[in-house]
Structure 1
Amino acid sequence: MKVDVVIVGGGIAGASAAYFLSQHGSVALVEREEHFSYHSSGRTAAQFTVGIGAPTMRRMAQASRSFLETPPEGFCTHSILTPRGCLTVAKAGKEGVLRRLQDNLASAGARAEYLDKEAALALFPALVAENVDAGVHEPDAMDIDVDLLLQGYLRGAKARGASLLTRTPIESIRRESGAWIVGWQGGEIAAPILVNAAGAWADEVSRMAGLAPIGIVPHRRTAFTFALQKEFDTRSWPHVGSVDYNWYVKPEQGCLMGSLSDAVPTQPGDVYPEDLDVAQAIENIEAETRLRIGRPLSQWAGLRSFVADRNPVAGSRPDAPGFFWLAGQGGCGILTSPAMGQALAALVAGHDLPAHLTEIGVSARDLSPSREGLVGGA
């Protein structure tokens, strides 16, 4: 098979790349698992927020809001976003951290409300009053319908003729006569452009192609669901977490989700929840709230992959003609996927970044795999 672009990795990054690149040429999206979005993208709290510390990641979230709020006609059958809000709480002495979060939100054009104890308790009545003194509320944070977004990308790409391949474990990548040849048992694809959207496996794909890695480090995060309590009406609760990032709670349909907010460096692969992490999360949540969890209803783990500066990567390097990285989106891959896909499509075409990115201060250098500080950078 010959196409204009072959994309390795069928998570949300690869799906968004297929959607935007298929507007300009023929595309093949290759995923080794049985279905798309198997690893990180399918194991997420699914929150849209711009309360992100890494500056470029925060701006890419800001630039993605309009697509998620008003997707193109025919992209999906109902709204991708549902109002939720996000509350971060802290004890006395952490006001400076809360103020920095408030500043980050404001810098990305979001409403950011600094709350006293009473206002925080009004939003999340399960808090233990003596354990909270202030909070920051992002009222425009949203829940994301991840499957709706993913299927919109895949359906749109397929409608433009993209080939969507699952159960295709790649065994080799080589450069030959100006094309990248991606091979697996029983087949291969040739394309002048290869997009490495392999998430936690992005460095493995780079090495397979004979290229230096960019320093992707996967981190495990464990989460679980637990039963509702009769004394609380959770329907209007926001996503709530501590400013110390040692727990969060999020309402789900018919239950609550909890997490330690852990980020444990690990190797790429299937990851599973650690009993100690679940137990520590339960201890932290029960210490700072009036929730009593008991036995979790379900539990799982997912991967969040970062480069050294925790900002995303999109672009190519001088030592790798026709090879583009789309990686390092950490826990923000879903909420930044529109802007990241649009940026990648422009860079592959040799164009400037879209105006809605440059107008908020994002440059190609900010996203480049050659930027200073990365393993394969300058």
Structure 2
Amino acid sequence: MRVDVAIVGGGIAGASAAYFLARHGSVALIEREEHFSYHSSGRTAAQFTVGIGATTMRRMAQASRAFFEAPPEGFSEQPILSPRGCLTVGRREQEATLRRLEANLASVGARADRLGRDEALALFPALRPEKLDLGVYEPDAMDIDVDVLLQGYLRGAKAAGAVLATRSDIRAIVREGNRWRLTWAGGDILADAVVNAAGGWADEVAAMAGLAPLGIVAHRRTAFTFALQKDFDTRSWPHVGSVDYDWYVKPEPGCLMGSLADAVPVAPSDAYPEDIDVAQAIENIERDTRLSIGRPISQWAGLRSFARDRNPVAGMREDAPGFFWLAGQGGCGILTSPAMGQSIAALVTGAPLPEAITQLGVASEDLSPERESLRVIAT
């Protein structure tokens, strides 16, 4: 098979890259699992928020908002976003941290409401009044329908001629002249460019191509669902978490979702929940709220993959022409996927980054795998 671009990894990052690149040339999207969006993208809280500490990540999230609110004609029959809101609560002594969150939201033009105890309780009545004094509310945070988003990307890429392959484990990546040869069970793929969108396996894919690692580290996050509470009507509740980031709760259809908001470094793998993490999350949630969790209905774990500076990576290093990284989205891969997909398409095709991204202060250097912040930390 001969294509312009081969994308390794069929999570939301790879799917969005295929969607935006397929309009510029021939694309093959290669995923080794039995279906797309298996490891990380399919195990997410599915929240759109711009209350993100890492600067470039926050800006890429805000740059994605317009796509979510008004996707291209024919992208999906259902809305991608639905109202939710996001509330972060803390004690008086944590006010400085809450103010930083407020400033982060304001820095990209997002609304941030400063709340007192009574206002926070009105939004989330299950909070224990003695455990909070203040809150910051992001009213324009949303739920993301991940399946609608993923299928929109895949359907659009396929309609533009992209080849979508699952159960396709890449066995070798070799540079041959000005092209890359990728070997898999289905044969060989010759590509002018490779996009490494392999999430927690990004460094392993680079090693397969004989390239130095970037320092992408997978982190496990554990989550679970539990029963609706008979004393509360949870339908209008926002996503709620502690400013310490040691728990969050989010309404789901027919249940509630909870998490320790953990990020435990692990080797990339098919992640499974640790009972101790579930137990600690339950303890933390019941400490700060009047929710009674009991036995979880279900529990799972997913991977979040970070670069050393916690900002996303999109671009090429000088030592490997035509090998592009699309990695390090942390827990923000879903909500930054439109801007990241648009960016990698621009970088691969030699076009400037979209104006909606540069207007928010993001340059190609900020996304580059050769940026100074990665080199400094690496040494």
TM-score by length of 2: 0.99
Give 1:333 deviation, angstroms: 0.2
* Counterpart for residue 228 of structure 1: 228
Query: What is the rounded CA distance, in whole Å, between the counterparts of 1:318 and 1:186 in structure 2?
Result: 30
* Counterpart for residue 291 of structure 2: 291
Query: What is the rounded CA distance, in whole Å, between the counterparts of 1:373 and 1:185 in structure 2?
Result: 38
Aligned positions of 1:22-171 closer than 5 A: 22-171=22-171
Query: What is the rounded CA distance, in whole Å, between the counterparts of 2:181 and 2:174 in structure 1?
Result: 5
Give 1:375 deviation, angstroms: 5.6
Code of the residue aligned with 1:33 in structure 2: it is: E
Query: What is the rounded CA distance, in whole Å, between the counterparts of 1:375 and 1:178 in structure 2?
Result: 27
Checking the alignment, whether the CA contact within 8 Å between 2:168 and 2:186 is kept in structure 1 is: no
Q: Give the length in aligned residue pairs.
A: 378
Checking the alignment, whether the CA contact within 8 Å between 2:313 and 2:328 is kept in structure 1 is: yes
Give 1:373 deviation, angstroms: 3.2
What secondary structure does 1:332 align onto? coil
Aligned positions of 1:1-378 closer than 5 A: 1-374=1-374
1:65-116 deviation line (CA, Å, top 9, x unaligned):
0000000000000100000000000012000000000000011111100100
Give 1:159 deviation, angstroms: 0.2
Give 1:49 deviation, angstroms: 0.2
TM-score by length of 1: 0.99
Ranges in structure 2 where 5+ consecutive residues have no aligned partner = none
Query: What is the rounded CA distance, in whole Å, between the counterparts of 1:205 and 1:352 in structure 2?
Result: 27
Give 1:186 deviation, angstroms: 4.0
Query: What is the rounded CA distance, in whole Å, between the counterparts of 1:26 and 1:368 in structure 2?
Result: 24
Runs of 4+ in 1 over 4 A off after TM superposition: 375-378
Identity value in percent = 74
Checking the alignment, whether the CA contact within 8 Å between 1:215 and 1:375 is kept in structure 2 is: no
What secondary structure does 1:115 align onto? strand
Ranges in structure 1 where 5+ consecutive residues have no aligned partner = none
1:24-43 deviation line (CA, Å, top 9, x unaligned):
00000000000000000000
What secondary structure does 1:374 align onto? helix
What secondary structure does 1:94 align onto? helix
Query: What is the rounded CA distance, in whole Å, between the counterparts of 1:56 and 1:185 in structure 2?
Result: 38
Query: What is the rounded CA distance, in whole Å, between the counterparts of 1:261 and 1:358 in structure 2?
Result: 31
What secondary structure does 2:374 align onto? coil
Checking the alignment, whether the CA contact within 8 Å between 1:213 and 1:375 is kept in structure 2 is: no
Give 1:188 deviation, angstroms: 1.4
Code of the residue aligned with 2:211 in structure 1: it is: L
Query: What is the rounded CA distance, in whole Å, between the counterparts of 2:247 and 2:160 in structure 1?
Result: 43
